[in-house]
Amino acid sequence: MNHEGTRRVKIFDITLRDGSQSKVATRINLDDLLRIAHKLADSGIYGAETWGGATFDVCVRFLREDPWERSRKLKEAMPNVKSMMLIRGQNLVAYSNFADDVVVKFVEAAARNGIDVFRIFDALDDVRNHEAVIKAVKGVGKIAEGAVCYTISPVHTIDKFVSKARQLEDKGVDQIAIKDMAGLIDPATTYELVSSLKKAVAVPIHLHTHDSCGLGMMSALKAVEAGCDMLDSVLSPFAGGTGHPCTESLVYALGRLGYETGCDLAKLTEAAETAKVVRAHYHEFEAPYSGVDCRMLVTQIPGGVMSNLSSQLRLQNALDKLDEIIDEIPRVREDLGWIPLVTPTSQIVVSQATFNVLLGRYKIIANHTANLLKGLYGETPAPVNKELRQRVLKDENPVTVRPAELLDPMWDKLQKSFPGLSDEEILIHAIFPHEAKEYFETKKEAGAA
């Protein structure tokens, strides 16, 4: 039993966003999500991740649903639950930087449409790429959660993660997330990292991990023992493997250990039964293999990256090159400053490693690789390969300022380009310019039908 007296551990159920993304490619439609949300509403969870990440993209590109309506309706279904979104720093919900004035408009719109907590991360963990979002979130009186991306490399130490967390606290975040996107954090490291963070910063600590390597539940428990304040988890039909630790199991186990979660296990079980029925409708989008895969403990390559790479190589009749590419990925990571493997950097590293194996080492330097070497994504965790940078830069100097400072304000121009549209509609055009036209045409046709 827990002998330190009853301590509250806040549960964020993330079934509606990352759970759905990790298991069925974010394809669950709003009506089905609402069925789960209504059950979660009075289950006692503190927060729910409902939006951000790939949801905006999938709503516009595939589901032809209004992403803003999704956020708004899910908040209406769970008025007493903190609604959280994942925001990719200056990239918002896309893959490249937006001007600061667009960042402000996006955050204002998200807050207006029901978002309470903004989990802000940057693929390079360059804290400067958090700045504009943190300021905008604080400006609308919402909760700014700064994420530190957990990864394994020769330069990623406990001290480095703690240093990033301190910088984020200095920028004004309300809480810190450990964002373990590949499920690589082990129980011993979790305990050491959370203990160190609790000593170094005053704000609450929030653990996000996947169960890809089968470590998630153990790491969640060690996090709580070290003083972690909040945990991410998913309802049991979405738990485990590429998913996350299970909400019901955590609530039961933590309760038995004397921790207070405020959750009602019976109501969570009801929500899980609904989630089970919903998931069954989306079997065509199931990942080919979404169980535990311990190869990552050796390769450090996230499972989603591996499955995408395998399918692309199969199309090119080059599957026999997979092992060579897996060996090349850490070499490219080192050349690019040991960047974490998370969207979009995982795609950059894997694409370049594939080119290197199929065409010869750096015979072709992909555009995204070149931009990263130029400093257009921000500062890398370690210095990049000098010779490669020189090849790309030629006589230019690398970018050393916050990358968004190179961007001119965009909002006035966008408003003039799309007269008569709401801010929310303009933002869809700004973020996904190629998909927006067809999206709005389809919505218009549906409305007229």
CATH architecture classification, 301-404: Orthogonal Bundle (1.10)
pLDDT bracket for residue 293 (50, 70, 90)? confident
Q: Are 284 and 232 in contact (CB under 8 A)?
A: no
Q: Are 75 and 33 in contact (CB under 8 A)?
A: no
β-pairing, 230-233 with 175-180? unpaired
Alpha-carbon Rg for the chain, nearest whole angstrom, is 21
Q: Are 75 and 42 in contact (CB under 8 A)?
A: no
β-pairing, 205-209 with 230-233? parallel
Q: Are 354 and 324 in contact (CB under 8 A)?
A: no
Note if the bond before 344 is cis, omega within 30 degrees. Answer: yes
Q: Are 55 and 26 in contact (CB under 8 A)?
A: yes
Mean pLDDT of 177-205: 97
Rounded to an integer, what distance in angstroms lies between the CA atom of residue 168 and that of residue 148?
9
First to last CA, the chain: 61
pLDDT reported for residue 334: 97
pLDDT reported for residue 444: 87
Domain 10-285 and domain 301-404, same fold? Reply is no
pLDDT tens-digit readout, 366-382: 999 999 999 999 999 99
pLDDT bracket for residue 342 (50, 70, 90)? confident
Mean pLDDT of 400-428: 97
Mean pLDDT of 255-272: 98
Rounded to an integer, what distance in angstroms lies between the CA atom of residue 252 and that of residue 255?
5
Contacts of 7 (CB under 8 A, 6+ apart): 259, 260
Tally the C-alpha atoms within 13 A of residue 345's C-alpha that lie toward its C-beta: 31
Mean pLDDT score of the chain: 95
Tally the C-alpha atoms within 13 A of residue 58's C-alpha that lie toward its C-beta: 18
Mean pLDDT of 165-171: 98
CATH architecture classification, 10-285: Alpha-Beta Barrel (3.20)
pLDDT reported for residue 3: 47
Q: Are 179 and 217 in contact (CB under 8 A)?
A: no
Which residue in the block uniquely carries the two structure tokens 């991410």? 232
φ, ψ for residue 146 (rounded to 5)?
-90, 130
- DSSP characters over 39-101: HHTTS--SEEEEEETTHHHHIIIII---HHHHHHHHHHH-TTSEEEEEE-GGGTTSSS---HH
β-pairing, 117-120 with 10-13? unpaired
Instruction: Answer whether residue 166 shows pLDDT above 70.
Output: yes
What are the residue ranges spanned by the domains of the chain?
10-285, 301-404, 415-448
Instruction: Answer whether residue 350 shows pLDDT above 90.
Output: yes
pLDDT reported for residue 225: 98
Instruction: Answer whether residue 111 shows pLDDT above 50.
Output: yes
Instruction: Answer whether residue 421 shows pLDDT above 90.
Output: yes
Q: Could you tell me the pTM of the whole model?
A: 0.96
